[in-house]
Amino acid sequence: MSETKTVLIAGGGSGIGAAVAVAFAEAGYKVAISGRRKEVLDEVAASTEHEILCHAADVADRESVNSLFAWAAETLGTIDVFVNSAGINIPNRSMEKLSPEDWDLVIQVNATGAYNCMHAVLPAMREKKDGVIINICSVAGLRTSPLGGVVYNASKFAMDALGRSVGEEEREHGIRVTTIYPGEVETPILDKRPTPVSAEHRARILQPEDLAAAVLMVAQLPKRARVPELVMIPTSQSFQ
């Protein structure tokens, strides 16, 4: 790269977000990660010889998101690439079991959190007439599945619609929005499944590095190339 590009990753403390952070650091980007707990972020930073900057923030909390982007503006300067990999699911997933509190929580993190981050990152990107935003959604944002459950499906459909709508508006400002729809990936979010996931299954499905390679590819494309959607699923998983 001729000049050092910057990337900020929300939900960078584990799973896909942590793998994305390491991949971008290895590719020569100036990398910052964010998540709710600073000590978890520090562990990711310590896992690589490259520098990764860390800042605690909760995507569901607008003030916290605004302080994150103020910190990033000071530390990174401009943000060339923003990746949102913050997301949750809950164990009680059927409508019969889902509590109103769990509905609110998942919508606040997965849907409103994605909105909060985009709302905060876009003004500087518009001013620069450049920028890439990559939201990690889910195949549950394209087709509902009992595996993800009622509120996860609803939150991911919202994230899908958000990315598509904003992507169409912002391309006129030179900003490219990509929504990535992964199938099953071996990350800590699987621990929230109502039925435990076997070691054999975990070995068969996508690994966080597979998603990190896709995120890096999208970010490195020339400005003329826009990827509105990217679906990646394990070969073992059906897509019908």
Q: What residues are annotated to the active site?
A: 152
Separation between Cα atoms, residue 22 and residue 88, nearest integer Å:
21
DSSP category for residue 221: S
Provide, rounded to whole angstroms, the least separation between the CB of residue 87 and ligand NAD. 2
How many residues are given for the chain?
240
Q: Which is nearer to ligand NAD, 32 or 172 (CB)?
A: 32
Helix H or strand E segment including 167: helix 150-170
Separation between Cα atoms, residue 20 and residue 24, nearest integer Å:
6
- The CB-side HSE value for 90 (13 A sphere, CA atoms) comes to 23
**Residues engaged in binding ligand NAD (CB under 6 A):** 10-11, 13-17, 35-36, 58-60, 85-88, 109, 113, 136, 138, 182, 184-185, 187-190
Separation between Cα atoms, residue 48 and residue 24, nearest integer Å:
11
Q: Which is nearer to ligand NAD, 39 or 172 (CB)?
A: 39
Q: Which is nearer to ligand NAD, 126 or 143 (CB)?
A: 143
Provide, rounded to whole angstroms, the least separation between the CB of residue 184 and ligand NAD. 4
Contact 110, 88 (CB under 8 A): yes
Provide, rounded to whole angstroms, the least separation between the CB of residue 138 and ligand NAD. 3
Q: Which is nearer to ligand NAD, 105 or 173 (CB)?
A: 105
Provide, rounded to whole angstroms, the least separation between the CB of residue 177 and ligand NAD. 16
